[in-house]
Structure 1
Amino acid sequence: MRIKAKTSELTKAVSNVGKVISGKSVDLILENILLEVNNKLTLTTTNLEQAMKYSIDVEVEEFGEELKTILPYDILRDIVPKFKGEYVQLDIKEKKATIKEDSGEFTLHTFNPEAFAVIPEVEGIINFTLTFGTLKELIENTIFAAAKKEESRREFKGVYFDIKDEYVNLVATDSTALALNRINEAGLPKTSFIVPWKALDIFIHLSYENETTVKIEIAESNIKFSLPNLSLTSLLINGQFPQYESVIPQDPEFYGKVAKNVLMDALDIIEVFAKKGTGRIIFTFTHGSLIVESSSSDIGQGKKIIPCETNAEVSLQFYAEKIIDGIEHVKDDTVFFGIQGPLHPVLVKGVESNDYLYVIMPQKPIE
């Protein structure tokens, strides 16, 4: 079968499906792309936990039977973006594929498509839609708090979707910090499930307009996100997510309010000392000020004093990366800290909004 495709569309398709390929698979067939030709050209990749399909329109120049074949992803990734012509021609046969563009001709060996993992169809028990921009923002404001280490509890290696009371709540935690982002969205079915962070990381790196509709289908053990030309499927995590609402401090006795831009500027500098030392940053709330400091036995000590409205007199120690991540995602211009004591969970959020909340455990001082 011989087909002609737009170079730009083929480049976009290869780039998107490549996001699923891990590059670490012991099964080399999972490092490649399944091509299916019928009335469209569909590219499919999988890592056995996630799978992506991307379809593009093509012009059929020589008809044949509907065809499946496997081509090496790394070669397609490296050569297709280098093509200068508007179109490329693919002549796909049983054991080889020839790609032609302008004056170039490139022949690639193909692999047996029967060896490719079967991608189960998701027959959604629950279906709903969100816009791409809304879902992407929800994910970005929570995924950073999910556990990335292999030895972590499986339910911590994902983002918990909790849809109820006309809210879509996304929650992630690694047991030392928790991020919650939510939006008011009436009319959605009440449901809850845990999506692996790897699947959501793939999703947020897709390129779509914010207004694009995303259809979400949830079955018993998997989920499917459908966008124009593309579908992303993932297994769900089978586990019991913690009762996150009980973790969020209610009506903390002490507080601090500080301008976000001023605080982030201070953290940007102090983090340099933390990285060279203990990895910690100390926050000291006192007399209308917040002292942000860290030290290293190798390079010395850094300290910034910034204005802060507070009724607290307390020092708190945080791992630098975790406290910076939590503050960075606050949407308001002013950051609110809810404090109970030096070793109690600290609430971080915007002064004006409760749609984003971050809860972090301070660390015991190093003796």
Structure 2
Amino acid sequence: MIFICDKSKLQDSISIVQKAITGRSTMPILEGVYINATSNTLTLIGSDKDVSIETKLEADIIEKGSIVVDAKIFGEIIRKLPNDEVKIETLDNSVIQITCQRSVFNLIYMSPDDFPSLPNINENMIFSVPQNQLKNMIKGTSFAIAQDEIRPILQGILFEVKDNYLNLVALDGYRLALRRELIDSQNTINAVIPGKTLNEVAKILEDSEDLVNITFTTNHILFNLGQTKIISRLLEGEFIQYNSILPQEYKMCVTVKKQPLQNSIERASLMAKEGNSNLIKLDIQDDSMVITSNSQLGKVREEISVNMQGEGIQIAFNSKYLLDVLKNMEEDEVILELTSSVSPCVIKNKINENSKYLVVPVRLVK
């Protein structure tokens, strides 16, 4: 195998496929990046069996062939080379030579025959979403994925295609995040994708209107971005019926400017770091919200103006859960729907109905 390609393009491609290489595999071959050189195209693949990423780039292929090289050291070598053309060729004794200007590296490679083949996915039934839209949907839900392994299904995000909408849902028992966008698809799909996979997908997606084509099979999901494909296994099991968790009624509605609320909670949380509860209290009365926190460090009181409908309420929250929500909301004003001091709070945008968040309060000992 012999090929010549642009160093920065090769570096970008390695960076993309490395997102699938976790370093936790018991198979040494999965520590490597698979490289196939054929007909002026270089194909790179990284995989950890659960998720595989393939990307292609143009190269001058002098001699066809394929190899697997250790992703970490290969990536480091290419990254530190001068910004120029790189020549890579196989030598005897399973060695490749990497040449760029006056730099020459010899690196051991592994047999490509041992590298697992990608799942075969028929791309007949696809739907498309703008990349920036999907990126925002993942960002706006992934923070609510469960971190413990007690219920593995909650370590994923529900991908639900229903009634011409794509819904993404994550929940961990303390909060729920729902993002929805209108799509052009008559299909009904219900699948759960590992959260760590989607976080890597979000890093690859661009902030553009370019489309990503999405295909589901019984066990896998494929994201096709043109030159790059990401294939992930799906999580087994049934996701929680999230609609049954979301309250349909409320007794009090608060409209508030998002940034002042976020700023006040961030300041109040400085005093709430004692233990892991991050406890802050909200006292909402007469179009005013008073946010307080008391700890051994001291105490803080913040007050902001709100527009409220219904009777006043006193309620406490883990400040981190509220901040996670507010940081992912895109409008200047948000709405809080409350029923009692022990009932979940629903937070949504004032105008756009594409987001809905639920946060469970902290019970206060009387």
Q: Same fold (TM over 0.5)?
A: yes
Aligned to 1:201: 199
Kindly indicate whether the alpha-carbon contact (under 8 Å) linking 1:180 and 1:356 is maintained by their aligned counterparts in 2.
Answer: yes
User: What is the CA-CA distance between 1:290 and the residue it aligns to?
Assistant: 1.0
Q: TM-score, normalised by structure 1?
A: 0.93
Could you tell me how far apart the structure 1 residues matched to 2:283 and 2:251 are? 16
Aligned counterparts, 1:265-276, within 5 A = 265-276=263-274
Aligned counterparts, 1:226-305, within 5 A = 226-277=224-275, 278-297=277-296, 299-305=297-303
Q: Residues 23 and 320 of structure 1: is their aligned pair in 2 closer, same or farther, counting only changes over 3 Å?
A: farther
User: What is the CA-CA distance between 1:170 and the residue it aligns to?
Assistant: 1.1
Could you tell me how far apart the structure 1 residues matched to 2:124 and 2:146 are? 28
AA matched with 1:355: N
Kindly indicate whether the alpha-carbon contact (under 8 Å) linking 1:128 and 1:188 is maintained by their aligned counterparts in 2.
Answer: no
SS at match of 1:245: helix
Kindly indicate whether the alpha-carbon contact (under 8 Å) linking 2:128 and 2:184 is maintained by their aligned counterparts in 1.
Answer: no
User: What is the CA-CA distance between 1:13 and the residue it aligns to?
Assistant: 0.5
Could you tell me how far apart the structure 1 residues matched to 2:279 and 2:27 are? 41
For residues 218-244 of structure 1, give each alpha carbon's deviation from its aligned partner in whole angstroms, at most 9, with x where no partner exists.
Answer: 111001101121110000112111221
Aligned counterparts, 1:61-72, within 5 A = 61=62, 63=63, 66-72=64-70
Aligned to 2:36: 36
Q: TM-score, normalised by structure 2?
A: 0.94
Could you tell me how far apart the structure 2 residues matched to 1:7 and 1:27 are? 29
AA matched with 1:142: T
For residues 80-124 of structure 1, give each alpha carbon's deviation from its aligned partner in whole angstroms, at most 9, with x where no partner exists.
Answer: 122223210011246011110011101101122233233222224
Aligned to 2:10: 10
Aligned to 1:186: 184
Kindly indicate whether the alpha-carbon contact (under 8 Å) linking 1:288 and 1:307 is maintained by their aligned counterparts in 2.
Answer: yes
Aligned to 1:333: 332
Aligned counterparts, 1:159-178, within 5 A = 159-178=157-176
Could you tell me how far apart the structure 2 residues matched to 1:76 and 1:303 are? 54
Aligned to 1:149: 148
User: What is the CA-CA distance between 1:366 and the residue it aligns to?
Assistant: 4.4
Aligned to 2:360: 361
Q: What is the Cα-based RMSD across aligned positions, in Å? A: 1.7
The range that moved more, 5-14 or 276-285, is: 276-285
Could you tell me how far apart the structure 1 residues matched to 2:334 and 2:147 are? 27
Could you tell me how far apart the structure 1 residues matched to 2:114 and 2:38 are? 20
For residues 313-337 of structure 1, give each alpha carbon's deviation from its aligned partner in whole angstroms, at most 9, with x where no partner exists.
Answer: 2222212221111122222211211
Q: Percent identity?
A: 24
Could you tell me how far apart the structure 2 residues matched to 1:17 and 1:243 are? 34
Could you tell me how far apart the structure 2 residues matched to 1:312 and 1:58 are? 68
